[in-house]
């Protein structure tokens, strides 16, 4: 078993779409970024890569590379998932938190969980989604930014298991 943790923050700006977990959420402000700026999928990608000892999202999908301009961050998750599969690892469970002052996200939890389960090729009961506000504190609390944190547990028949069986 391996654990990965990911975190991401994006500035919010008027007139931009807001993508959270592969779901477009109605809002007058959206995240700013090189790709589609899906803060949750970026945190999940980092967690997946970390669980496999594969570096981070910036190494795999640099914001200096024009091929990722406006990219759908779902693809980042799929690539990280497939890299883990190549190591014989699969998601056991995923727990995520999105921090945003607005919009309120509880009404989107089911759609986000469904999308994440599809992207990770796992059962929806292995995906947990939580939304929190900034309570008026810091950039999130002032409505200037959105943040996400993801923790993933992976397991499988990869090199770690084989190495531990021989020792």
Residue by residue, DSSP assigns 84-148 as: HHHTTEEEEEEEEEEE-SSS--GGGHHHHHHHHHHHHTS-GGGEEEEEE--TT-HHHHTTSEEEE
State the sign of the Cα–Cα–Cα–Cα dihedral 102, 72, 114, 111. positive
What pLDDT is recorded for position 100? 97
Phi-psi region for residue 163, left (φ > 0), alpha (ψ -120 to 50) or beta?
alpha
Distances (CA, A) of 62 to 80, 81, 91, 112: 14, 18, 24, 25
Q: Where is 149: in which H helix or E strand?
A: strand 145-156
Q: Which residue is associated with the tokens 């090199």?
A: 159
Q: Which domains does the chain have, with CATH numbers?
A: 2-166 (3.30.1330.50)
What pLDDT is recorded for position 113? 99
The tokens for 55 are 């570096």
Percent of the residues in the chain that have a pLDDT greater than 70, as a whole number: 93
What pLDDT is recorded for position 162? 45
Phi-psi region for residue 86, left (φ > 0), alpha (ψ -120 to 50) or beta?
alpha
The tokens for 155 are 């397991």
How far is CA 70 from its chain centroid?
Answer: 16
Pairing type for strands 18-20 and 29-31 reads: unpaired
What pLDDT is recorded for position 114? 98
User: 10 Å Cβ neighbour count for 77?
Assistant: 24
What pLDDT is recorded for position 116? 99
What pLDDT is recorded for position 161? 43
CB 134 within 8 A of CB 140: yes
Tens of pLDDT, residue by residue, the chain (167 residues): 999 999 999 999 999 999 999 999 999 999 999 999 999 999 999 999 999 999 999 999 999 999 998 899 999 999 999 999 999 999 999 999 999 999 999 999 999 999 999 999 999 999 999 999 999 999 999 999 999 999 999 999 644 444 444 44
């Amino acid at each position: 078993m391996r654990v990965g943790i990911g975190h991401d923050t994006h500035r919010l700006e008027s007139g931009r779409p807001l993508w959270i977990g592969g779901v477009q959420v109605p809002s007058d402000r959206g995240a700013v970024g090189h790709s589609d700026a899906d803060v949750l999928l970026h945190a999940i990608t980092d967690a997946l890569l970390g669980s496999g000892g594969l570096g981070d999202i910036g190494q795999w999908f640099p914001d200096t590379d024009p091929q990722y301009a406006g990219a759908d961050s779902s693809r980042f998750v799929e690539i990280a998932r497939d890299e883990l599969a190549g190591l014989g690892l699969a998601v056991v469970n995923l727990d995520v938190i999105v921090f945003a002052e607005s919009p309120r996200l509880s009404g989107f939890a089911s759609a986000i969980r469904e999308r994440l389960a599809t992207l990770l090729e796992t059962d929806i009961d292995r995906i947990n989604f939580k939304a929190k506000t900034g309570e008026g504190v810091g950039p999130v609390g002032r409505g200037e930014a959105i943040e996400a944190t993801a923790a993933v547990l992976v397991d499988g028949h990869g090199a770690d298991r084989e190495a531990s069986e021989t020792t």
